[in-house]
Amino acid sequence: MIGMSRDKFVILRKKYAELCCKPRYSEIKKTSDQITELEDRLGKYQRAIIEHIREINFKQEMIEALKIIPDLHSKEIEFDKLVEHPDIENISIDGESVVVFTKHIDIEYKNKVYSIGKFIIQLSTDARAGWVVMFKNLSNTIENCPHPHINSHGMPCLGNIQECLPHMIGAHQYAAAISVCIQYLKSYSNDNDGKPYHNIEYWPIKT
């Protein structure tokens, strides 16, 4: 036994025991914080897994749709109906894209009719292109913005139609997809479900 007085031994013995039994509040908090962080990270991973599963299922559905070869005659009839669309001025085929020239598009919002302009709709039928649809305003772009919900590069914020549009294209329903795009051009929202790139009030009111 190391040499020390009885009194010192008693004091050191008590201090040692107290040190061993001292609550480790800082370590408890640190570990609790780590658990919380791991739980948050796990929640994000779980949400990401769910999103990936949804995307895989969606792409599998697209593959099955792509395997179906549509009837040529029915698609010719579909085209006949498409050229009669009241908002379409002209149509062309550019490689793997269907290009539609619209008549003048107006948007009715809060009892006012806003003059938005004529558009080119370029619908990509090639999934490798990396985009689904692009828009160009031919007559009434405002501050480099072609439409309240379309950015300066012609890329739309598709909102509710973001999933259905690729599905239509995958199923060769190009005419239906174009009709949806035209309806999209005629719509406007400014709430939690759809924030515009540019407020519609920047476009002229139709008199």
pLDDT (tens digit per residue) in 76-123? 888 899 999 999 999 999 888 999 999 999 999 989 999 999 999 999
Domain ranges of the chain: 1-67, 72-202
The C-alpha atoms of residue 135 and residue 12 are separated, in whole angstroms, by: 82
The C-alpha atoms of residue 124 and residue 93 are separated, in whole angstroms, by: 10
Give the contacts of 203 (CB within 8 A, at least 6 positions apart).
107, 114, 115, 116, 140, 142, 148
Residue 118 vs residue 9, higher pLDDT: 118
In this prediction, residue 203 has a pLDDT band, given cuts at 50, 70 and 90, of very high
Query: Between 174-185 and 72-82, two packed helices, what is the crossing angle to 10 degrees?
Result: 20
Look up residue 82 and give its two tokens.
Answer: 């498409």
Q: Is 110 left (phi over 0), alpha (psi -120 to 50) or beta?
A: left
Residue 80 vs residue 71, higher pLDDT: 80
Backbone angles phi, psi at 4, to 5 degrees: -160, 160
Q: Is 159 left (phi over 0), alpha (psi -120 to 50) or beta?
A: left
pLDDT exceeds cutoff 70 at 69: no
Extended beta strands in 59-96, E state:
88-94
Backbone angles phi, psi at 86, to 5 degrees: -65, -20
Taking the domain 72-202, which CATH number applies?
3.10.110
Q: Which helix (H) or strand (E) holds 10?
A: helix 6-21
pTM of the model: 0.65
Residue in 157, 88, 93, 167 with CA at minimum distance from that of residue 127: 167
Rg (CA), the chain: 31
CA angle 185, 189, 195 (to 5 degrees): 105
Residue in 100, 86, 94 with CA at minimum distance from that of residue 178: 100
pLDDT number for residue 66? 66
